[in-house]
Chains A and B, each alone.
Chain A
């Protein structure tokens, strides 16, 4: 079977880019990735994006971005899986390379959220839920996660302070990432003093509304050699897995198991031929602090109900046994929804090349994992990357 390697990675800082449009940041990230690989053309483009039609009245992103990046008449398409769109786009690009149909593929994830009024942004994000049976009743996405958070704390005896530790860890790492939106450390008290948005979920349990774009270039080792890309830059896409769960949270057998993540992780581990013990760091989808805990459990890092305990024990820090959110995660780096899975990928590439910023480089990282959640766990991607 063919192998897929990432040979170029690029991004723009996550933030509120008032002067820049969706196409501006997408093209910038894409050209940064192409420059990193030292190439000026690709065979095709996959765009990870959740909801540009609602946020900026723009769909057909494949044509828009390939056209404005000067890529010519290539095939280009948008991949949508709610907040997991970025992770899914990386997978579709990888599949195109592995299939042999395309040799050099570009993947860009982009979301431009700050052009919308805040309560409209809240509405658009809830489109990832069930329109007729959740949003109809006034459920925001934050509210659905708050229902899970309260149930998690009650079921296993955790406090709001326990879950706040995930936000504290994310900020500690993000403070050293020049591309992160919030580059300052916080304390548990910072989280506890922030207002409730949907009790018991507070502002600092949640990732921010923001703008961002990130991109990678994927090809085969043979083609990478032919293109003259230095081997130091290569990172293998070793395993990919994706699965869905019920769109409606209420229809789930177990509110506290991210079944889709468990299935996706099993597939990715099998394809990569790795066990969870061999993985050096985990970029999990901490859109809300409780999701980081549930993700660690679903990925097999922690037993069921013990995810938040890893945070209490300090095991999720860079020098812990299971470093997570090494560049700030969704909480501190930011969560430009459809771009997030590609940011995670770029961050994994930097870690595995040994190019992460000082203080947040995971020592001797060889294998890294990214996990990207769409909906309340209804569409989840898990990707495993390996240093070549």
Chain B
């Protein structure tokens, strides 16, 4: 996974993963991630749309038995976050006490490291969500 040819596989999504850029079709339907065909109306005219990064926790879990490659980071909270613009995004929560997570908790997007590979491997960064700082 961390070998040189995997760089392009992750690099091609860096704008979406660093800046939460999704799509908006000609009829105004928002989506994340961006697709070639709007899943609501079938329009093929979809433009990039940058989300605000604000949202609420819809559901969450604590991953205790992760897929290989994520063992070092366990346990970690994973959530479905409903963005204020509508679409739902799956992402890790960060900077949060797992006991304090609740339905409807206000969260905001931050860019964080998701995982590392071997010594010579790449480092993956992406959006995660943290409780809104009061």
Contact = CB atoms under 8 A, between A and B. Distances in A.
Is the A/B pair a real complex? yes
Interface of A: 117-120, 122-123, 126, 132-140, 142-144, 146-148, 150-151, 154, 195-201, 246, 248-251, 255
Nearest to A153: B59
Interface of B: 13, 31-33, 39, 58-71, 73, 76, 78-80, 87-92, 103, 114-115, 124, 126
A307 B90 CA distance: 26
27 contacts: A119-B65, A119-B67, A119-B71, A120-B68, A122-B68, A123-B68, A136-B124, A137-B90, A137-B91, A138-B66, A138-B76, A139-B63, A139-B78, A139-B90, A140-B66, A140-B67, A143-B61, A143-B63, A147-B59, A147-B61, A150-B59, A198-B61, A198-B63, A250-B80, A250-B89, A250-B90, A251-B88
B124 A197 contact: no
Contact of B62 (A120, A139, A196, A246): A196
A248 B22 CA distance: 14
Contacts of A248: 90
The SS class assigned to the B binding surface is: strand
A117 B65 CA distance: 13
A200 B98 CA distance: 13
B78 A138 contact: yes
Given A123-B68, A137-B126, A150 B61 contact: yes
B17 to A, nearest CB: 8
Counting chain A CB atoms within 10 Å of each CB, which of B70, B76, B87, B89 scores highest?
B70
A138 B63 contact: yes
Given A151-B58, A250-B89, A138 B65 contact: no
Nearest to B68: A119
B60 A135 contact: no
Given A123-B68, A143-B78, A246-B39, A154 B103 contact: yes
